């Protein structure tokens, strides 16, 4: 997918890897690399979002004197060739975005922190205005490269919540599974199966995602649901009805938040995960007036503080369970220690490191760990066979324990496995597949 998207701009694509993303994000560019980048910009062969993201990164990150000199020479050629937006982002007298985005961009390029009102303006600019993709990508990249502060992330989250469609529902308990929207690239996507097993054990469960989102382009719950033939829900009202009938709903961002979905081509072109990747999974498209348990995956240690700060600051979820699963998912790896955090407020998150007893779930039979055909894989996992089934059972067990449905997490794991080996989980999948609109 990336080969096709960046086929016409290999120099800018390579420079973005060196300057804008990854652990080598501050490597100095050579004169030849900078010349190649500007040749592609002048030719108009690069996606505008990639131009904006690269120029924002180049301006914010440290530059050598040689980079600065060569960059300045090429900037003068942009002025002659009249690339107005690109010229402005490159530091010249070009076409500025409309207020307040001109001052916001300038602040970001100068390493400044945005206040709450400016964060609201950024989200509004992304979702509602006629800002070009070049400027939208520059805003996103500017925030990410200079590193968003916890206060900025909280303000951005509140602003996103203000724009996101949401349906208030009335369930005593609702489990909201927040998986990464760019999916899993190194293994199977198992979040959907966690939701199926959790829901068949009497806990109403919602899961949501999208597909085809870079830079990972991983497999998501939406990919799994499409491959299995799960009926596509048309809106949040239908999702509520499905939970009322069978205790489960799986939502695609295309129906849950169309305006955010529309940004996906621009996001894919800019190559770097913006703050949207952190926050879009936390928007609670179905929100329970009863007990709303938000189950969220994470990878980076900073998120242990950042996510509770944003989530509880917005006042939407009543309880948070953070699970350090593979690739930021909520699926724990049963073969190693696992870290989980749970709490009902930012200042009372309790962290535990879990070590699974060798004999726990020892009776799980063997099966392939990667799906060849998703329906065969689903039948195997939901029948309790293989390591993937063990991982699903462990994750469901933790959810049951935190939700107060079992006295211990070991009891929760065994209840999950019993639901799988007895056929109840497969029967729940059949109910989901048979839902009539």
- Output the pLDDT for position 217: 95
pTM: 0.94
The pair of three-digit structure tokens given for residue 48, joined into one six-digit string: 């505008």
Contact 203, 189 (CB under 8 A): no
Which of these, 239, 196, 153, lies nearest to 331 by C-alpha position? 196
- Output the pLDDT for position 363: 47
217 phi/psi in degrees, rounded to 5: 55, 40
Selected from 3.40.50.300, 3.40.1030.10, 3.30.559.10, 3.40.50.2300, the CATH number assigned to the domain covering 169-254+261-433 reads: 3.40.1030.10
What's the length of the chain?
A: 437
- Residue 78, judged by CB atoms within 10 A of its CB (0-12, 13-18, 19+), counts as buried
Can you spell out the DSSP letters for 323-381?
E--GGG-S---TTS-EEEEEESSGGGPEEEEE---TTTTTTPBP--SS-SSHHHHHHHH
The helix (run of H) or strand (run of E) holding residue 9 is: none
Show Cβ contacts of residue 405 under 8 Å, excluding neighbours closer than 6 positions.
201, 202, 203, 412, 415
The pair of three-digit structure tokens given for residue 44, joined into one six-digit string: 């108009």
CA torsion sign, 341 to 343 to 347 to 350? Answer: negative
What is the full per-residue pLDDT of the chain (437 aa) written as tens digits? 666 889 999 999 999 888 766 445 678 899 999 999 999 988 889 999 999 999 999 999 888 999 999 998 888 877 666 678 988 898 888 889 999 999 999 999 999 999 999 999 999 999 987 899 999 999 999 999 999 999 999 999 999 999 999 999 999 999 999 999 999 999 999 999 999 999 999 999 999 999 999 999 999 999 999 999 999 999 999 999 999 999 999 999 999 999 999 999 999 999 989 999 999 999 999 999 999 999 999 999 999 999 999 999 998 888 999 999 989 999 999 888 999 999 999 999 999 998 876 665 554 444 445 555 899 999 999 999 999 999 999 999 999 999 999 999 999 999 999 999 999 999 999 999 998 65
How many CB atoms within 10 Å of residue 350? 9
CA distance 77 to 119: 34
CA distance 252 to 14: 32
Which of these, 3, 59, 8, lies nearest to 268 by C-alpha position? 3
- Output the pLDDT for position 390: 92
Q: Where in the chain is the domain with CATH 3.40.1030.10?
A: 169-254+261-433
CA distance 41 to 37: 6
């Amino acid at each position: 997918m990336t080969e096709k998207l960046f086929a016409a701009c290999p120099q800018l694509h390579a420079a973005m890897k060196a300057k804008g993303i990854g652990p080598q994000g501050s490597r100095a560019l050579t004169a030849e690399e900078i010349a190649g980048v500007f040749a592609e910009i002048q030719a108009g062969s690069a996606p505008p979002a990639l131009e904006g993201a690269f120029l924002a990164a180049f301006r914010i990150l440290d530059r050598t004197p040689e980079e600065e000199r060569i960059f300045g020479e090429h900037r003068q050629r942009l002025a002659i060739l009249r690339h107005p937006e690109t010229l402005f982002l490159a530091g010249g007298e070009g076409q500025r975005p409309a207020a307040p985005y001109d001052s916001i961009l300038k602040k970001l390029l100068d390493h400044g922190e945005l206040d709450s009102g400016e964060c609201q303006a950024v989200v509004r600019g992304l979702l509602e205005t006629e800002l070009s993709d070049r400027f939208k990508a520059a805003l996103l990249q500017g925030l990410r490269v200079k590193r968003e502060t916890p206060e900025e992330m909280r303000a951005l989250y509140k602003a996103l919540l203000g724009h996101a469609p949401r349906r208030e529902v009335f369930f005593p308990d609702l489990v909201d599974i927040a998986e990464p929207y760019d999916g899993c690239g190194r293994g199977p996507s198992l979040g959907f199966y966690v939701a199926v097993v959790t829901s068949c054990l009497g806990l109403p469960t919602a899961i949501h995602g999208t597909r085809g989102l870079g830079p990972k382009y991983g497999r998501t719950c939406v990919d799994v649901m499409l491959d299995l033939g799960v009926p596509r829900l048309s809106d949040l009202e239908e999702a509520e009805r499905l939970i009322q009938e069978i205790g489960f709903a799986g939502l695609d961002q295309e129906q849950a938040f169309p305006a955010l979905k529309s940004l996906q081509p621009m996001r894919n072109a800019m190559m770097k995960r913006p703050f949207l990747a952190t926050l879009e999974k936390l928007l609670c498209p179905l929100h329970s007036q009863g007990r709303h348990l938000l189950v969220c995956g994470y990878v980076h240690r900073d998120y242990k503080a950042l996510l509770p700060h944003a989530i509880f600051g917005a006042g939407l979820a009543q309880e948070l369970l953070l699970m350090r699963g593979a690739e930021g998912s909520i699926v724990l790896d049963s073969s190693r220690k696992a870290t989980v955090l749970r709490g009902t407020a930012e200042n009372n998150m309790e962290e535990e490191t879990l070590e699974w007893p060798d004999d726990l779930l020892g009776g799980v039979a063997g099966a392939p760990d990667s799906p060849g055909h998703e329906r065969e894989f689903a039948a195997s996992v939901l029948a309790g066979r293989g390591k993937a089934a063990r991982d699903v059972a462990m994750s469901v067990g933790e959810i049951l324990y935190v939700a107060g449905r079992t006295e211990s997490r070991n009891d929760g794991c065994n209840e999950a496995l019993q639901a799988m080996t007895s056929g109840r989980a497969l029967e729940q999948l059949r109910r989901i597949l048979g839902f009539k609109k």
